[in-house]
């Protein structure tokens, strides 16, 4: 150790103290500065820590190595190895109450002077100190001293020495070590093996040697150049690291013939390697003239198949400071914390942050690990349903059997929570489609039912050039307005929109009554007005204003409607055109837009995005010509597809356009559950075979499996097989011949039949003993019965010629 290359050591038991060693020993105390200012004379180590100098010891010149005493008492006892081979015990502040105070100043002297390279305290027997020296042809290079030995004969008093504290004591020289090892060799590094206090690992000149103090005449060694800086992994006592030049070797003491791993060679020579004491398998290395510390994370791996398999490592680098680093030291207890020192004694307190591993739970809990800490983030139980993650919504919907009601299809939106207007529109659309498809198939079997599931866009195209407009009288007004004659296709479109019920009756009265019962006063009034019944609209608004949950302002709107006049230049029309945009409710806004618009120009109604799509489409079917209606439906369909708005299924139906719309919806929300149930509801076979639809279905099945909803997954599979019979797999039994090993698969059906040289029996058929047949591969006779194939509990020995490999059946 030279004066320009300081070293640094954390106190083993005082976690807030460390010592810097170069030409002198300097003891520092670390304090937190989070809630306090930096004290005068303190050194800033990091943003939240500073160091204060406590004491200096300059009485041990020519230091080459330092080792801190591992026991609690005395706390500040250090062993210093010098250039002449002597080992001196010194302190950085005497403890007068310590029973070991007589040790301070004791020197351990080898027979021949040469440099002391390394020191190591025994972790189990704390009084043993190992010293590694340079080579001498007539002396040993590894000396083990007992600092408290009572039977050492060669003890002679010497002159009194003044200590840094100003006191004087008699210093003793100890010249006879407890053990002498490594004759005619040099020792460059040392470490005790924690598993046995009698085992010492030494990096000699040309080999790594393990000395057993119970038999010093024998040693286990391996020839290698990597003999510097030997250190044992504190979490895996059979793993040792050493280095030579720019290369680090990792050894397994159970297979000591060669390194199990050689780390990437560095361009500059290494100066220090050290295992992290708070983290398993983390090794830090430092090269000369570098401000970077390289970290090697030895990952846990399965037991290797062959001896040549190397463990997995993850390499990363950290830069604690901008200047070159002279040395570093891991903190003994704080996780991943180290302190570094530069050649000019500038210090930095630094924490190596772990890589953060994230994991999503199938129930949407987020967990991440950082070091020894595991954090979990879950959704609040009382969170608004609109704020919940889509996975949480799908999981709750699956528990309520969402999507499985095939009789009253509209009820599925209630099972979903009745909070999403798009889902409500979707399931009402699918309900009407199913209802009118069944009605049409009963009246006239043909392709009319498939036209319903093709959506209003296809229905409207099928009636181009077949409709003329007529003038209709208003109810409550002396006025006439042009309305399109309702042919069969437009009536069907109005039925799918929910305005009228099935049949030839075009009365919207039942629909208005249902809206009033649900408290949708504004919507009911708007629909009544669109059907030229202004008196009914005013009546509905007055009912809404007088109801418990109604808005008193509806009376004002009703009053405004009652003053309607058809004069184009009237004050009423002028004021309504100006003030209607200030109304908050979109249905009230479109009512006045309708009354103030010119005949045939209803953009204020048709392009009000806050009005339900089904109401805008129904309005278009009543007032737009064939060409206008077709253009409007085409434009609105493209908007719905681009936005992924489920209300657009009314227009696209369950067609390729519907798949495109649903794809946009899934991309926006991730709701593969709704996509799967929707496309299964009535899509033609070519749509169901679309790879996007199959992808949604399989992903939803995987989600149910991940949530461990086995029964829900089974219900979904049964539901799917009913709506899409082609998805039902064939039941199969897989068997193999015991003589030749040839595997044979049987496709089971309900009728026994013959095939491939042996009998096949249906799974629902009665078990009947078959005749003796032969294996198609080896032609040997195979006794077999149907029960052997169906009953999985049958032992193999009961059917000597055949082995059941697998049995799968979906009913």
List, for residues 436-491, the tens digit of each pLDDT value: 887 666 665 555 557 788 889 988 887 766 666 777 778 777 777 878 888 888 88
Q: Choose among 614, 10, 619: nearest CA to 327.
A: 10
Kindly report the number of other CB atoms within 10 A of residue 232's CB atom: 21
User: Are the C-beta atoms of residues 213 and 222 closer than 8 Å to each other?
Assistant: no
Quick check: helix, strand or coil at residue 424? Answer: helix
Q: How many helices (H) and strands (E) does the chain have?
A: 22, 44
DSSP 550-605: --THHHHHHHHHHT----TT-HHHHHHHHHGGG-SSHHHHHHHHHHHSPTT--HHH
Nearest to 789 by CA among 752, 740, 739: 752
Containing 129, the helix (H) or strand (E) segment is: strand 128-133
Residue pair 208/242 in contact (Cβ under 8 Å)? The answer is yes
> How far from chain centre, in Å, is Cα 756?
50
Instruction: For the chain, report the end-to-end CA distance as a whole number of angstroms.
Output: 81
Residue 578 resides in a domain? yes
Angle at 381 between CA 380 and CA 383, to 5 degrees: 65
Q: Which two tokens stand for residue 152?
A: 């050492």
Predicted local confidence at residue 311, as pLDDT = 64
CA gap 210, 208 in Å, rounded: 7
How many domains does the structure of the chain reveal? 1
* Strand runs labelled E in 708-788: 732-737, 743-747, 753-755, 758-760, 773-774, 781-782
- Rounded Cα distance between 123 and 128, Å, is 9
Task: State which H helix or E strand residue 704 sits in.
Answer: helix 691-706
Identify the pLDDT of residue 87: 94
CA angle 226, 231, 232 (to 5 degrees): 125
Question: Which regions of 72-127 does DSSP assign to beta strands (E)?
Answer: 77-82, 87-91, 107-108, 116-121
Q: Residue 471 contacts by C-beta under 8 Å, 6 or more apart in sequence?
A: 480, 481, 482, 483
Bond before 212 cis per omega within 30 degrees: no
Closest CA to 241 of 254, 259, 224: 259
Judge contact between 122 and 128, C-beta under 8 A.
yes
Rounded to whole angstroms, how far apart are CA atoms 499 and 494? 6
Model's pTM, two decimal places?
0.63
Mind giving me the DSSP string for 600-628? T--HHHHT-TTS-HHHHHHHHHHHS-HHH
Among 231, 138, 217, which residue's Cα sits nearest to residue 179?
217
Within a domain: residue 608?
A: yes
CB neighbour class for 273 (10 Å; exposed up to 12, middle 13-18, buried from 19)? buried
Per-residue model confidence as pLDDT tens digits over 155-213: 444 433 333 333 434 457 888 999 999 988 999 999 999 988 899 999 998 899 999 99
The Cα–Cα gap between 238 and 298 comes to 14
Q: Which of 216, 192, 217, 211 is nearest to 129 (CA)?
A: 192
- For tokens 């403890």, the residue is 95
Rounded Cα distance, 52 and 91, in Å: 18
What is the helix (H) or strand (E) element at residue 710, kind and residue range?
Answer: helix 710-723
| CB 790, CB 767: distance < 8 Å | yes
598 within some domain: yes
Element (H, E) at 131: strand 128-133
Start-end of H helices in 146-246: none
Q: Given the DSSP bridges, would you call strands 773-774 and 781-782 parallel, antiparallel or unpaired? A: antiparallel
Residues of the chain under the 50 pLDDT cut: 2-3, 151-170, 302-306, 745-772, 784-811
Residue 327: strand, helix, or coil: strand
Which range marks the domain in which residue 522 is found?
A: 447-648
User: Which strand (E) or helix (H) includes residue 515?
Assistant: helix 509-517
> Which ranges of 375-508 does DSSP label H, i.e. alpha helix?
390-399, 412-415, 421-443, 448-453, 456-461, 488-497
Specify the pLDDT at position 201.
95
- Distant-in-sequence, close-in-space partners of 369: CB < 8 Å, separation ≥ 6: 354, 356, 357, 375
- pLDDT for 684 equals 80
> In this structure, is residue 238 part of a structural domain?
no
DSSP 8-state secondary structure symbol assigned to residue 730: P
Whether 91 and 149 have beta carbons less than 8 Å apart is answered as no
**Predicted pLDDT of residue 285:** 95
Cα within 13 Å of Cα(106), Cβ side: 18
Q: Report yes or no on 520 lying in a domain.
A: yes
Burial 279-305 (b: 16+ CB within 10 A, else e): bebbbbbbbeebeebbbbbbeeeeeee
On whether residue 610 sits in a domain, the answer given is yes
Pairwise CA distance, residues 434 & 90, whole Å: 94
Residue 511 — φ and ψ, nearest 5°? Answer: -65, -40
Neighbours of 140 (CB within 10 A): 21
């Amino acid at each position: 150790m030279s004066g320009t290359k300081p070293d640094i050591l954390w106190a083993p038991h005082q976690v807030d103290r460390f010592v810097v060693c170069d030409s002198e020993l300097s003891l520092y105390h670390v304090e937190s500065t989070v809630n306090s200012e930096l004290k005068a004379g303190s050194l800033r180590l990091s943003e939240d820590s500073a160091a204060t100098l406590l004491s200096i010891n300059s009485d041990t010149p020519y230091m080459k190595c330092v080792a801190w005493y591992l026991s609690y008492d005395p706390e500040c006892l250090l062993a210093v190895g010098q250039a002449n081979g002597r080992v001196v015990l010194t302190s950085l502040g005497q403890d007068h109450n310590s029973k070991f105070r007589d040790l301070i100043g004791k020197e351990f002297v080898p027979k021949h002077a040469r440099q002391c390279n390394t020191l190591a305290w025994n972790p189990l027997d704390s009084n043993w100190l190992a010293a590694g020296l340079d080579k001498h042809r007539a002396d040993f290079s590894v000396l083990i001293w007992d600092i408290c030995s009572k039977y050492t004969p060669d003890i002679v008093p010497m002159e009194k020495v003044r200590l840094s504290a100003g006191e004087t004591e008699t210093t003793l020289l100890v010249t006879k070590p407890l053990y002498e090892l490594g004759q005619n060799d040099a020792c460059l590094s040392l470490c005790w093996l924690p598993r046995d206090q009698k085992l010492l690992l030494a990096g000699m000149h040309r080999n790594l040697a393990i000395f057993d103090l119970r038999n010093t005449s024998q040693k286990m060694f391996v020839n290698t150049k990597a003999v510097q800086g030997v250190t044992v992994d504190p979490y895996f006592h059979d793993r040792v690291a050493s280095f030579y030049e720019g290369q680090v070797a990792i050894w397994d003491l159970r297979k000591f013939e060669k390194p199990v791993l050689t780390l990437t060679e560095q361009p500059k020579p290494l100066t220090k390697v050290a295992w992290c004491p708070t983290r398993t398998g983390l090794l830090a290395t430092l090269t000369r003239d570098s401000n970077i510390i390289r970290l090697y994370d030895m990952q846990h791996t399965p037991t290797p198949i062959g001896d040549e398999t190397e463990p997995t490592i993850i390499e990363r680098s950290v830069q604690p400071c901008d200047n070159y680093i002279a040395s570093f030291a891991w903190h003994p207890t704080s996780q991943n914390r180290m302190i570094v020192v530069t050649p000019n004694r500038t210090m930095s307190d630094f924490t190596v942050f772990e890589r953060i591993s994230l994991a999503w739970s199938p129930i949407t809990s987020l967990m991440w690990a950082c070091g020894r800490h595991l954090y979990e983030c879950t959704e609040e139980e009382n969170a608004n349903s609109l704020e919940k993650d889509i996975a949480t919504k799908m999981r709750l919907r699956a528990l309520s059997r969402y999507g499985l009601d095939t009789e009253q299809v509209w009820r599925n939106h209630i099972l979903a929570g009745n909070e999403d207007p798009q889902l409500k529109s979707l399931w009402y659309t699918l309900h009407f489609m199913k209802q009118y498809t069944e009605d049409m198939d009963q009246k006239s079997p043909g392709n009319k039912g498939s036209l319903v599931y093709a959506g209003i866009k296809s229905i409207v195209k099928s009636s181009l050039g077949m409709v003329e407009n007529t003038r209709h009288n208003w109810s409550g007004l002396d006025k006439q307005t042009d309305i399109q004659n309702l042919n069969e296709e437009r009536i069907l479109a109005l039925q799918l929109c929910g305005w009228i019920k099935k049949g030839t009756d075009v009365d919207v009265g039942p629909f208005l009554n249902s809206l009033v019962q649900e408290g949708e006063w504004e919507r009911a009034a708007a629909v009544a007005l669109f059907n030229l019944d202004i008196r009914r609209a005013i009546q509905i608004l007055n009912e809404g204003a007088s109801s418990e949950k109604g808005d008193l302002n509806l009376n004002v709107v009703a009053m405004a409607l009652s003053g309607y006049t058809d004069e184009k230049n009237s004050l009423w029309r002028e004021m309504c055109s100006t003030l209607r945009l200030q109304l908050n409710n979109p249905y009230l806004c479109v009512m006045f837009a309708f009354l103030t618009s010119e005949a045939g120009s209803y953009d204020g109604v048709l392009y009000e995005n806050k009005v339900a799509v089904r109401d805008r489409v129904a309005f278009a079917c009543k007032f737009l010509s064939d060409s206008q209606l077709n253009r409007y439906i085409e434009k609105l369909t493209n908007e719905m597809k681009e936005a992924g708005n489920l209300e657009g299924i009314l227009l696209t139906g369950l067609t390729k356009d519907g798949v495109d719309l649903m794809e946009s919806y899934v991309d926006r929300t991730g709701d593969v559950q709704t996509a799967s149930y929707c496309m299964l509801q009535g899509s033609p076979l070519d749509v169901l075979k679309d790879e996007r639809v199959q992808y949604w279905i399989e992903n939803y099945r995987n989600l149910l499996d991940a949530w461990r909803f086995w029964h829900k997954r089974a219900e979904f599979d049964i539901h799917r097989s009913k709506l899409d019979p082609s998805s039902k797999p064939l039941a199969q039994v897989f068997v193999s011949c015991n003589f030749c090993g040839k595997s044979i698969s049987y496709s089971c059906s309900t009728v026994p039949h013959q095939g491939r040289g042996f009998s096949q029996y249906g799974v629902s058929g009665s078990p009947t003993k078959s005749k003796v047949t032969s294996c198609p591969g080896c032609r040997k006779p195979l006794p077999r019965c149907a029960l052997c194939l169906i009953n999985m509990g049958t032992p193999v020995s009961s059917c000597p010629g055949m082995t059941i490999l697998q049995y799968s059946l979906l009913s």
